[in-house]
Structure 1
């Protein structure tokens, strides 16, 4: 089936558009720096991300169950609207009062977590079930590959432009051409990437509205309250099914470990790049390089995910990830970018593997709920590592002077925690898997 024929499938087409626009955030290349420029501390930044993860944990699975019973499109549309609101809040918040800034960012993180929970599983379930209705579900890994390439292509432009928007020298030249007063520091520029993201958020709303789903008609004897209770019951039933199905359970455990550990590091990548002496203007080129890497290697990721035996694949990815985190912990100037790129490839490949095997083992009636458990387990891990890292960083930073902290030496010293954390949990999960698999084969 050609790409043109695939794009004629309406829900697949708008799924690709939704995913590409939903995560096209111009402030991602300078995410940590943006929060600090608004007046927040690094500790507040870490705790706000814990709040974000906690919100998703609370909303993730119930939202998936509501998607399965009340309608998936409704949740995707609502998610895109909530996303627009949470970005608009930080676009207009005054920065004179630090307490007000923190409160607004706290609400922003709650709404952002809610938006992620609402969309998680529902958009994917809409696209996958459309394929299944047409007897084309074997195309799903290829569609994930296409989605990765489309999102990465968009990501090239977003990261290049986003980083350039935050570079004082580049923007000073642009302001001069436009006849505007030159910016003196990044705080004069911090809202520009946010405004640009607001525009892209409208594209996400448009794509969500244009998805199609058969209208769910409630039985004449069933009220919305009864349907809600059915949703919660489905959540509990699905939880029992996940726990009772070792294949799915271990797929989700490994997914959560790989994803939440890498996400925690990549959330702070702008701080990492700054610590290894990379100028801000190059953040965009690194981001564009990452997107280009995804485009080039997406096919190889799909082939690895589909062709390798699950145990071999997970073992290979685990060893590679441990080596990568160790390399990152060395804090090599400039060359420290290489392990960050390797980590991107590992996670990209792992995501295709997880989605392929999880959808294959899940029935349509509770697909969105199960996919929401995927998000739930990730965010439980993300919240846990956020708290642990914030505490560990505080302990480490006490051993350094203010001058060393300003040079990010304490931050580089804290990165070894990622190697120890991932290695311990990977070996622990693998040990449990080994003994369970010995009694009865899982994979």
Structure 2
């Protein structure tokens, strides 16, 4: 009977015809729980309130990014050789561990605090790297086994919509529970004789994220490896290296894959740099700091609107025209941001958030459609590595521009000057890319 498994234990494997639906539902839930971090709206101040210096916090972010870069492609190879499910399970375990370590970090603990936070960042980077590519490969492969690859845009649309909802909830709740004054006022309104201080509330977002991490672990335990991928052996070092080289050669020889990855990272890297300095930009255009959480929630919620539009874009238009439209949207938004219009300048941040979400949607759709199952996770990990390297390079250029402009004025002047370079850089790189891929224009104009 087609529904016989529904009454079984949650851990039992669904029948073959239901593995795709089962994994896709869990993939959506995994992405929502994994990315909806309650401490995101207060990330920097959380670490500073724990007792770290700004320099230590910057160093920890560098370590986090370095761990992802080093582990990204090897984790993809393991996912292709060993299976996707063990990698997403490892990501969940690392996420639980990172939250436990952060929850136990001693406030104002000097070197001990720094070491706790360092371990947290290493575990967080490993969790990101283990999940990268393996999670969506698990869902896409299950669809491909049933000849349902054409349903992938719908899955991505659901991911984008629910992830946006999750981010909005996390932004609003995370910033609220971090505020001791707000919690004390709420307790008084409820007739409770409770008062909160920052030393207590700073851990509340961490505790909430520990709960979602446990949710991620439960979700991963329920995921199923497609039947044709079960029973793989752990690859030797030589096999792992050969798999990486094979995936690298495939990307280099595939104009479609190269265009998808390079085009995506050119747009994504510039937008991520702006998002990193978003709060500084809001302050520069005279927005009150109390509005930052609401702005962050609004930016996250844009995914709900963008999801059906992105799905329609990738299923009806050509790759070249879609990338061109997203690049144009990003350039217009960045140009508006560069004007530094007081208060109303925040409106130009909205198309940037929309473009960033749509780029991620398009890259996943086109790359999964182009690559075969045996190297899918490795190729997706190469994509993740390329995106992180692109972001790091543009961040370095932006930092140099900030320093150059700051030497001739205030910090606000430095940020305003550096922001004017972002649309110019994107236009320049897009023109260079158009020149490099001009021979493949006909192929890129085909509808996908």
Q: Determine if the TM-score, normalized by the shorter chain, exceeds 0.5.
A: yes
Mapped to 2, the partners of 1:128 and 1:424 lie a distance apart of: 34
Q: Match for residue 326 of structure 1?
A: 335
1:146 maps to which of 158, 167, 177: 158
How far the C-alpha of 1:172 sits from its partner, in A, is 2.6
1:382 aligns with 2:407: no
Q: Larger deviation: 206-215 or 11-20?
A: 206-215
Deviations 1:71-130 (A, max 9, x none): 110010111111121222222212324444333333322221111111100010000010
1-structure distance, mates of 2:272, 2:337: 14
**In 2 relative to 1, CA 386–442 (structure 1 residues): closer, same or farther, beyond 3 Å?**
same
For residues 193-252 of structure 1, the C-alpha deviation after alignment (integer angstroms, 9 at most, x for no partner) is 11111111111111111100146335xxxx7453x4322211111111111212211211
How far is 1:151 from its partner?
A: 1.3
2:188 equivalent to 1:179 = no
Q: 1:301 aligns with which of 282, 286, 310?
A: 310
Give the 3 Å change call, closer, same or farther, for CA 338–80 of structure 1 in structure 2: same
**Aligned-pair RMSD on alpha carbons?**
2.7
Counterpart residue number, 1:19: 31
- Is the aligned partner of 1:216 residue 2:239? no
Contact preservation (8 Å) 2:52, 2:108: no
Distance 1:33 1:19, change over 3 A: same
1:335 aligns with 2:335: no
State how far apart, in whole Å, the 2-side matches of 1:180 and 1:388 are. Answer: 49
Indicate whether 1:251 and 2:252 are aligned.
Answer: no
Q: Please list, as runs of the form range in 1=range in 2, the aligned pairs for 1:162-241 lying within 5 A after superposition.
A: 162-176=174-188, 177=190, 178-183=192-197, 189-213=201-225, 214=227, 216-218=230-232, 224=234, 226=236, 228-241=237-250
Q: Is the 8 A contact 1:54 1:380 kept in 2?
A: no
| d(CA) in 1 for partners of 2:19, 2:231 | 29
1 CA distance for matches of 2:395 and 2:165?
Answer: 30
Between the aligned partners of 2:413 and 2:333, the Cα distance in structure 1 is 15
Does structure 1 residue 373 correspond to structure 2 residue 382? Answer: yes
- Show structure 1 runs of 5+ residues with no match: 401-408
Q: 1:206 to 1:100 in 2, by over 3 A?
A: same
- Within 5 A, what are the aligned runs for 1:335-354? 335-354=344-363
- Residues 314-358 of structure 1, C-alpha deviation per residue, up to 9 Å, x if partnerless? 222222212212322344443232122211111111111111111
Q: Which has the higher contact order (CA 8 A, sep 6+)?
A: 1
Return the alpha-carbon distance in structure 2 between the equivalents of residues 280 and 6 of structure 1: 48
Alignment of 1:426-441 (within 5 A): 426-438=427-439, 441=442
Give ranges in structure 2 of 5+ residues lacking alignment: 1-16
- Is 1:135 aligned to residue 147 of structure 2? yes
Which structure 2 residues correspond to residues 65-84 of structure 1 after superposition, within 5 A? 65-84=77-96
C-alpha separation between the residues in 2 aligned to 1:42 and 1:395?
21
Distance 1:331 1:101 in 2: 39
The secondary structure found in structure 1 opposite 2:38 is coil
Q: Identify the residue that residue 405 of structure 1 maps to in structure 2.
A: none
Contact kept, 8 Å, 1:60 with 1:376, in 2: the verdict is yes
Change (3 A) 1:54 1:12: same
Deviations 1:37-86 (A, max 9, x none): 33444454444333222211111111101100011100101111111212
* Separation in structure 2 between the aligned mates of residue 98 and residue 325 of structure 1, nearest angstrom: 40
CA contact (8 A) 2:50 2:106 kept: no
TM-score, L = length of structure 1: 0.87
In structure 2, C-alpha distance between the alignment counterparts of 1:98 and 1:390, rounded to whole Å: 28
Q: State whether residues 105 and 117 of structure 2, in contact with CA within 8 Å, keep that contact through their aligned partners in structure 1.
A: no
1:344–1:113 distance in 2 versus 1, CA, 3 Å: same
Contact 1:140 1:356 in 2 (8 A): yes
Deviation at 1:175, TM superposition (A): 4.2
How far apart in 1 are the matches of 2:398 and 2:103? Answer: 28
Task: Give the conservation status (yes or no) of the 8 Å contact 2:41–2:293.
Answer: yes
In 1, Cα distance between the equivalents of 2:287 and 2:201? 19
Secondary structure in 2 aligned to 1:163? helix
Deviation at 1:396, TM superposition (A): 4.6
Structure 1 residue 33: Cα displacement: 2.9
